[in-house]
Amino acid sequence: MAAPLVLVLVVAVTVRAALFRSSLAEFISERVEVVSPLSSWKRVVEGLSLLDLGVSPYSGAVFHETPLIIYLFHFLIDYAELVFMITDALTAIALYFAIQDFNKVVFKKQKLLLELDQYAPDVAELIRTPMEMRYIPLKVALFYLLNPYTILSCVAKSTCAINNTLIAFFILTTIKGSAFLSAIFLALATYQSLYPLTLFVPGLLYLLQTRHINPNSAAAVHTCENEEQSLLDLFLGVCHDVCGKPSGNHLPLLLPSQLLGFHPRSLWLYINVFFYTIPLAIKLKEHPIFFMFIQIAVIAIFKSYPTVGDVALYMAFFPVWNHLYRFLRNIFVLTCIIIVCSLLFPVLWHLWIYAGSANSNFFYAITLTFNVGQILLISDYFYAFLRREYYLTHGLYLTAKDGTEAMLVLK
């Protein structure tokens, strides 16, 4: 399977290199949908030049990145394009190997449940076979690398790509079962933007469940949990202490409240991301990777400055759930909504800023519609997932008491 992956990587790198050299690069790097004040490359360059002049990069409220990004690009500023192409490639490779292992786990679990007779008798067409799952890792890598959203983020040199890489490595190390490495990557991702903290819960659930399959004592389970927790705290603290004092000033904790001066009422909108973690954990405790997918999507929708790079990360997971396709109900309408909104973004921006005729309401209406489309999309996937689980345990061809075909209604 290495050869197709290498081919996909080569094609992706070529497309990105071609776009970097074209005149579109300037235009894309200024688009509001692709870069946000938290991830814009121009601001990274601004922070680096402030650092070179001996001034704190955080004075002036322009630079909102972490010190680790400064140190990374201090040495790599001349190879910036290469760095971003490599991060995209690394994300794709991490997702490839993660999904490869995940498929093995899924198949093992399915076999176990079949042997334990947990499934209803007539669900043969819902059972997944290794043959159909063979190309899924390649499709995941393909979906991520050749997604127009990812390409735009890479060409714009948005640091969201680095966040995606860290989350992808977190997923890889979690699925491989290494608590220490997954804690490191989660700490790094949380350090950059606070939201990946919510991925701690599905990661922990997954690690506990895999260790449960390989027999271990209850004490080991508890130590694993504590180990993760303390590693996370330790790492966050270390990051702050070591990197936090570039010029003697105390580094402020990078929360939206202090840096961007938001209104206290909008605190609820940012906390929205954290609200969904507990209900999802209760409902999806048997399926932590699906939980992780939904959580990443929730982060992409509800974070304070969403960009298309965040959307690209959870879109990469669609091939993993393509067995749910037959249960998705609104996929056509939702695909149309997302494509139409993506096309209308630049048109309404042009009308507002250049033609002087529309106003910000038009543009923000489209961002709201885009978010509504995304919410409906992930709730559709959630519904399809639950429906398949229901059919697996209760049988596919359900009949009502009088023998006619029964209809499932979600209450």
Query: Using CB under 8 A as the criterion, which residues of the chain lie in contact with another protein when the complex forms?
Result: 329-330, 333, 336, 339-340, 343-344, 347-348, 350-351, 354-357, 376, 407, 410
Give every CB contact of residue 278 below 8 A, 6+ residues apart in sequence.
Answer: none
Output the smallest distance, CB 410 to another protein, in A: 7
Nearer to another protein, 257 or 399 (CB): 399
Output the smallest distance, CB 241 to another protein, in A: 46
Output the smallest distance, CB 343 to another protein, in A: 6
Output the smallest distance, CB 351 to another protein, in A: 6
Output the smallest distance, CB 375 to another protein, in A: 11
Nearer to another protein, 304 or 367 (CB): 367
Give every CB contact of residue 299 below 8 A, 6+ residues apart in sequence.
Answer: 195, 196, 198, 273, 310
Output the smallest distance, CB 36 to another protein, in A: 24
Give the Cα separation of 138 and 52 in Å (integer).
43
Output the smallest distance, CB 86 to another protein, in A: 28
69 closest CA partner among 82, 90, 83: 83
Token code pair at residue 154: 């890479």
Output the smallest distance, CB 122 to another protein, in A: 21
Nearer to another protein, 129 or 357 (CB): 357
One-letter amino acid identity for 44? V
Nearer to another protein, 149 or 349 (CB): 349
Q: Are 47 and 70 in contact (CB under 8 A)?
A: yes
Give the Cα separation of 313 and 282 in Å (integer).
24
Nearer to another protein, 218 or 407 (CB): 407
Nearer to another protein, 26 or 286 (CB): 26
Output the smallest distance, CB 28 to another protein, in A: 17
- What is the DSSP secondary structure assignment for residue 356, as one 8-state letter? S
Output the smallest distance, CB 14 to another protein, in A: 17
Give the Cα separation of 34 and 119 in Å (integer).
45
Give the Cα separation of 296 and 288 in Å (integer).
12
Give every CB contact of residue 402 below 8 A, 6+ residues apart in sequence.
Answer: none
Burial class (CB within 10 angstroms; exposed 0-12, middle 13-18, buried 19+) of 285: middle
Nearer to another protein, 96 or 345 (CB): 345
Nearer to another protein, 246 or 346 (CB): 346
Is the CA virtual torsion 355, 356, 357, 362 positive or negative?
positive
Nearer to another protein, 277 or 374 (CB): 374
CA distances from 397 to 128, 328, 362 (A): 18, 18, 47
Residues forming beta bridges with residue 399, ordered by sequence position: 405
Burial class (CB within 10 angstroms; exposed 0-12, middle 13-18, buried 19+) of 118: exposed
Residue 355: phi and psi, rounded to 5, are: -80, -15
Nearer to another protein, 124 or 410 (CB): 410
Residue/partner pairs of 49-56 with CB below 8 Å, 24 or more apart: 51/246, 54/247, 55/247, 56/246, 56/247, 56/249
